[in-house]
Amino acid sequence: MKIALFASGTGSNVKNIIKHFEKNKNVEIAGVFSNKANAGALLHAIEAEIPTYVFSNQELNDVNQLFKSIENHDLDLIVLAGFLLKIPKLFISKFEGKIINLHPSLLPKFGGKGMYGAHVHRAVLSANELETGITIHYVNENYDEGAVIKQFKTALTESDNLESVQEKIKLLEKTYFPITIEELTNKL
């Protein structure tokens, strides 16, 4: 099974996924793709000797060049691991059912455009939620509306703040995102 990771930021999930699969002979991380040349995710890939690809927002929307890079790898799964741009319809139709995303809330709550990272956690806290969590879902043409694959929850207390919620979510991501990806690759 060949998977690609798409990321825009520091790459903590990319690093964790790479580490999870480094001894798995059945899954190859064929490349780490980013829309930011200075993304930390690319450094994690380089350290693990995984090919990296940087593309512009225009190339994502034009997709022909990006398709060529991806098709050369004959990918089974594309994992959005901290990738913040909306995936174009043409891209989704080309890889339908093969693109998944991690969202740091229990969708459908606190999803949509602009809802990522601390923005999500602040909204959760403002709503006085009793729990939060992560959602791993398929990607469709709308932000955070694809079919849910799995959700993992954590309780919230009155003493929780932005930092404590971020830590709880990071722990869920580290624990469950790679395992869920592995389960999907076993089904493909």
Show which residues are catalytic: 103
* Closest by Cα among 124, 74, 123, 119 to 95: 74
| Sequence-distant (≥ 6) Cβ neighbours of residue 109 within 8 angstroms | 124, 127, 129
* Cβ–Cβ < 8 Å for 29, 182: no
Residue 96 is encoded by which pair of tokens?
């339908």
Q: Which residues pair with 138 in a beta bridge?
A: 100
- Count CA atoms closer than 13 A to 10's CA, side-chain side: 3
DSSP string, 65-110: HHHHHHHTTT-SEEEESS--SPPPHHHHHHTTT-EEEEESS-TTTT
**Angstrom distance (rounded) from CA 54 to CA 95:** 19
Q: Which residues pair with 148 in a beta bridge?
A: 137
